[in-house]
Amino acid sequence: MEKRESEVLRQLVHMSGLFFIALAQFIDKILVGVLFMLAALFFFLYSEYVNKCEKNHSTLLSTIECKLRDFAFMLERRDSKRMFAGAFWFYFGAGLAFLLFPLNAASAAGATLAISDSLSTIMGKKFGKKHIIGKKTLEGTTAFFVSGVFVCLLFFNPVVAVIGAAAATLAELLPEWKRISSSRLSGLFDDNLLIPIITGFVLALGIL
């Protein structure tokens, strides 16, 4: 699988969180938050399993698991320090947003993470020319902000939507700040965690 194709497929998997966000519009948001957390727990436990267990083709189930593992490895970035770290923080961050914030704020924050973060990555890798901080490009960041505004407009008025999108954009850039990226705790400043929490908090304030 070519690098560009794997990146697009990775971001499509990233957008799978939209299913839970759509579900939250019809059922209790706390339940959806729990579902997000269970998904995060699955990725954490499976990562532990992959790190400790060798491939085993002795049974049909284990053979299927090996095929899924190979597919997952193809989707992982080469610079990833831990398997499924991005997926874990994505579901954990979105789940935390649904547990902490009102439904519209959590939904907008989660959808911004799923859509805008994916679009910014794809646009940045395909068209990115001017780097503004770390690996982030002007083109990718612009795509994030513009799409973030449209996403937030589904839940808020234009003023709050722009403020929320701006907060989300800053949250995406924050892990690239040199002081944070070089910190021993840099692994905790994952944009998949920061985007839904910071965006949800700012949007929740906008409701008051």
pLDDT at residue 92 above 80? yes
What's the CA gap between 165 and 109, in Å, rounded?
A: 9
Cβ within 8 Å of residue 105, ≥6 positions away: 97, 155, 200, 203, 204, 206, 207
pLDDT of residue 76: 60
Q: What is the pLDDT of residues 109-132, one digit of tens each?
A: 999 999 998 888 888 888 878 888
Query: In the chain, pLDDT over 90 holds for what percent of residues?
Result: 44
User: Is pLDDT of 145 > 90?
Assistant: yes
pLDDT at 148: 96
pLDDT at 6: 53
CA dist 81 → 70, 85, 152, 182, 205 (Å): 17, 8, 32, 15, 35
Q: Residue 77: its pLDDT value, please?
A: 55
- Read off the pLDDT band of 2 (50, 70, 90): very low
For residues 37 and 82, the model is more confident at 37
User: Mean pLDDT, to the nearest integer, of 13-18?
Assistant: 76
Q: Contact at 8 Å (CB) between 69 and 143?
A: no
CA distance 132 to 169: 13
Q: Strand, helix or coil at 77?
A: coil
pLDDT number for residue 189: 73
Report residue 31's pLDDT band, with 50, 70 and 90 as the boundaries.
very high
Answer whether residue 4 shows pLDDT above 70: no
Rg (CA), the chain: 17
Q: What is the pLDDT of residues 65-75, one digit of tens each?
A: 666 666 556 55
Mean pLDDT for 156-170 is 95
pLDDT averaged over the chain? 81
Beta carbons within 10 angstroms of residue 17's beta carbon: 25
The letter for the amino acid at 103 is L
Please say if the pLDDT value at position 42 is more than 90.
no
- DSSP state at residue 175: G
Domain ranges (residues) in the chain: 3-207
Tens of pLDDT along 168-203? 999 998 887 766 655 555 556 788 899 999 999 999
What is residue 149's predicted lDDT score, i.e. its pLDDT? Answer: 97
Please tell me which residue, 88 or 169, carries the higher pLDDT value: 169
Is the distance from CB of 105 to CB of 204 less than 8 angstroms?
Answer: yes
